[in-house]
Structure 1
Amino acid sequence: MKIAFYGSSLLSSYWNGAATYYRGILSALASRGYDITFYEPDAFDRQKHRDIEPPSWVRSVVYDADETSLRRVLAEAADADIVVKANGVGVFDKELLEGILTHARADAIKLYWDVDAAATLDEMRHDADHPVRRALPHLDMVLTYGGGPPVIEDYEAFGAARCVPIYNALDPATHHPVPPEPAFACDLAFLANRLPDREARVEEFFLAPAAALPDRRFLIGGNGWHDKGMPANVRDVGHVGTGQHNAFNCTPRAVLNVARDSMARIGYSPATRVFEAAGAAACLITDAWEGIELFLKPDEEVLVARDGKDVAEHLATLTEERAQAIGQAALARVLNEHTYELRAVEVDRVLRAARARAQEVA
């Protein structure tokens, strides 16, 4: 089956945390026989910061961020059996969603793939005319990057015919243990872009422990932190391309995951970083959120922190031996239960079931 996928970027992780999720899911679907075209706009300097060149398993279309190019790529939706609009493209999001409904064939499966479901649902609660809310009756399904039962219930209450979470996972060919890199040596490393709905939690779970442990070394990576006031023992390395993620995760004694506000509130939303770190056999410390035990076992495969004091206590008592044991246990768990190959089996089943239902109606 042919998939037309309209998303933020497959080629660049620059201000685009969903890149590795798209790569993992779609490459695994391609290996199952799907013919995929990924459409991404040339916007936000992402094409100047590519992590990869177009891979062999996808037809990559980069279009100019103007209305003429938008109409051109939307017209190609008519050639696909499955048409997907992902959230957070950043330009023409409303027009893309309306466009796939207009241009997709009547017998095509039309999906909204939400990689920020908690935030989208918050927006819909406050805006009865929200584009996604208007589109839901005309979509066959919503897939989300996480959220569990709360997101399923909320999306279906808004009128989604079906909502299925497809969680982040590991691509072991991309994220795996590598030798340590001295440039990333520290006691605790954190990698994420600076966003308004995460910043206060970063202050609590990362910067406060750094201030409390002045003899320890901390490292922060990602876009936007250059002008953030930080303790003297925190080093900012800026944007870290996906090609460096393994070394970034393997080198420190521990790495930190901090959920965005909405994802922490809803739970069941492991970030891509969780599986990338586990895939590199890193010792992961995560802020507490409901559902973590579905992915990693607390105290054995991951360390869970309720606040910054917990992070500091974990670091103060964490030996190199225990950190390695936790990292190896996490790696074994994700290889066994949380790979993109396994996620693709689920997506394939969901898509084929939707296709069968559509043919029955026809």
Structure 2
Amino acid sequence: MTTTPRKLVFIGLSLSSSWGNGHATTFRALLRGLHEKGEDVLFLERDVPWYANARDLPDPDFCRLALYQDTGELIARFGPELQAADAVIIGSYVPEGPAVIDAVHALGVKALCFYDIDTPVTMAKLSRGEEEYLQRRQVPLFDVYFSFSGGRVLDRLETDFGARRAEALYCSVDETRYRHTGATPDIDLGYLGTYSPDRQPTLERLLIEPARRLPRCRFAVAGPQYPDDIDWPANVERIDHLAPADHAAFYSRQRFTLNVTRADMIAAGWSPSVRLFEAAACRTAIISDRWEGLAEVLPDGEAVLVAETSEDVIVALTEMTSEARDRLANGAMTRVLADHTGRARAGDLLAVLDSLPAQPAARRRA
């Protein structure tokens, strides 16, 4: 029996460019999963110069991608497709987000959803009255508020912010693109991530200080926007930007990779980074900072090594046997390939959408 493909429209920060943001890889894995399941997906992205100059996926083969200049053009050009869609999913950090949300809501679309890839940051911003990409009054407009974070964050979204229905939709990994390349590791500890002031102290403690104390070991940090005044030890290789196509090769060069979590995400808990899943799929052993909910995704000592001090990292790098490191890496890979691929996450999304009423209740007015 054939099933008619669902028509899904995403309006997100960026699919075409991974420069300086983790949204692109998160969307790419999810949308590839939806494509594999036979769904019809359109992704709408604001055409902005900083992504236009760094597009590493201008023509995806798993969905239609279209660019728009402003909210007016978005509605004028794509209004009919938005109204015909089975669901419209607006992401966090979309430029002019409040205007986009109001304009799409006014169309009376069949199902209006929000996908927050920055939930703890969003909640902290809303609590401070910062509403550049989502206004607090708009949270109840969505039939479903999909959240990058799970656990008690979902309860807060409903009780404190008025979400009608909050569902966890963790990021995921495309296992066909993230796998070990067979390279012989030549980096003892690496890190992949854009500079963030709240992550930098942890990076200093768990990578830079161990590099200073282990001059014979090799380290690497890949990611843009790091200030020029950081005192990198001589044994730390710096890579300004690494396109997703090169991520697997980078992970495969590492004996260990470091996961560092933003402060708001640590405070909220249950917020696994896409980097965790990517590294695990590449069978690279992971050292991570500690946050609530991590053990539910990757148990400490079985699939990840939790470190709190420089000494914890130094002990791992100098004393852990290759056999123990391989067990750690294989434990993470097994869990991620079972539960956190793009196809698995697409199934999670579709299950929630299928549970919605055929005719959603009248939306609350902004």
Q: Same-fold call, TM > 0.5?
A: yes
- Which residue is 2:103 aligned to? 99
In the TM superposition, residue 31 of structure 1 has moved relative to its aligned partner by 2.6
In the TM superposition, residue 276 of structure 1 has moved relative to its aligned partner by 0.5
Query: 2:82 aligned with 1:80, yes or no?
Result: no
In the TM superposition, residue 212 of structure 1 has moved relative to its aligned partner by 2.8
- Which residue is 2:190 aligned to? 189
- CA pair 181-71 structure 1, distance change in 2 beyond 3 A: farther
In the TM superposition, residue 175 of structure 1 has moved relative to its aligned partner by 0.7
Amino acid at match of 1:28: G
- Which residue is 1:4 aligned to? 9
1:257 maps to which of 250, 256, 259: 259
Check conservation: 1:169, 1:338, Cα contact below 8 A: yes
Give distance in 1, aligned partners of 2:152 and 2:107.
Answer: 32
Give distance in 2, aligned partners of 1:129 and 1:332.
Answer: 39
Deviation track 1:259-302 (CA, whole Å, cap 9, x = no partner) reads: 11111121111101101001000011111111112111211221
- CA pair 50-180 structure 1, distance change in 2 beyond 3 A: farther
Check conservation: 1:4, 1:36, Cα contact below 8 A: yes
Structure-1-length-normalised TM-score: 0.91
SS in 1 for 2:226: coil
5 Å-filtered alignment, 1:95-174, equals 95-105=99-109, 108-127=110-129, 131-146=134-149, 148-157=150-159, 158-174=161-177
List runs of 5+ in structure 2 lacking aligned partners: 1-5
Give distance in 2, aligned partners of 1:205 and 1:102.
Answer: 48
Check conservation: 2:170, 2:271, Cα contact below 8 A: yes
1:297 maps to which of 279, 294, 299: 299
Check conservation: 1:143, 1:165, Cα contact below 8 A: yes
- Which residue is 2:345 aligned to? 343
In the TM superposition, residue 213 of structure 1 has moved relative to its aligned partner by 2.2
- Which residue is 2:221 aligned to? 220
In the TM superposition, residue 68 of structure 1 has moved relative to its aligned partner by 4.8
Give distance in 2, aligned partners of 1:359 and 1:104.
Answer: 11
SS in 2 for 1:187: strand
SS in 2 for 1:354: coil
2:241 maps to which of 231, 239, 254: 239
Check conservation: 1:74, 1:100, Cα contact below 8 A: no
Check conservation: 1:109, 1:355, Cα contact below 8 A: no
Q: Which one is further off, 163-172 or 351-360?
A: 351-360
Query: 2:58 aligned with 1:56, yes or no?
Result: no
Query: 2:29 aligned with 1:28, yes or no?
Result: no
Give distance in 1, aligned partners of 2:78 and 2:339.
Answer: 36
5 Å-filtered alignment, 1:258-277, equals 258-277=260-279
In the TM superposition, residue 154 of structure 1 has moved relative to its aligned partner by 1.2
Check conservation: 2:151, 2:269, Cα contact below 8 A: no
Structure-2-length-normalised TM-score: 0.90
- Which residue is 1:352 aligned to? 354
Give distance in 2, aligned partners of 1:345 and 1:187.
Answer: 36
- CA pair 265-342 structure 1, distance change in 2 beyond 3 A: same
SS in 1 for 2:31: helix
Check conservation: 2:151, 2:293, Cα contact below 8 A: no
Check conservation: 1:175, 1:279, Cα contact below 8 A: yes
Q: Which one is further off, 318-327 or 288-297?
A: 318-327
Amino acid at match of 1:168: C
Check conservation: 1:15, 1:46, Cα contact below 8 A: no
Give distance in 1, aligned partners of 2:251 and 2:165.
Answer: 36
SS in 2 for 1:196: coil
SS in 1 for 2:257: strand
Give distance in 1, aligned partners of 2:61 and 2:193.
Answer: 28
- CA pair 104-38 structure 1, distance change in 2 beyond 3 A: farther
Over the residues paired in the alignment, what is the CA RMSD in angstroms? Answer: 2.3
- CA pair 145-320 structure 1, distance change in 2 beyond 3 A: same
Give distance in 2, aligned partners of 1:308 and 1:102.
Answer: 53
1:45 maps to which of 50, 53, 56: 50
Amino acid at match of 1:18: H
Give distance in 2, aligned partners of 1:291 and 1:151.
Answer: 11
Give distance in 1, aligned partners of 2:314 and 2:247.
Answer: 24
Query: What number of residue pairs does the alignment pair up?
Result: 354
- CA pair 122-152 structure 1, distance change in 2 beyond 3 A: same
Deviation track 1:73-105 (CA, whole Å, cap 9, x = no partner) reads: 56342232211110012x222222222212343
- CA pair 160-316 structure 1, distance change in 2 beyond 3 A: same
Check conservation: 2:71, 2:99, Cα contact below 8 A: no
Percent identity for Structure 1 against Structure 2: 32
Give distance in 2, aligned partners of 1:310 and 1:18.
Answer: 31
SS in 2 for 1:159: coil
- Which residue is 2:3 aligned to? none
Amino acid at match of 1:180: A
Give distance in 2, aligned partners of 1:21 and 1:54.
Answer: 17
Give distance in 1, aligned partners of 2:250 and 2:26.
Answer: 18
Check conservation: 2:13, 2:91, Cα contact below 8 A: yes
Amino acid at match of 2:316: H
Q: Which one is further off, 300-309 or 115-124?
A: 300-309
Check conservation: 1:39, 1:73, Cα contact below 8 A: no
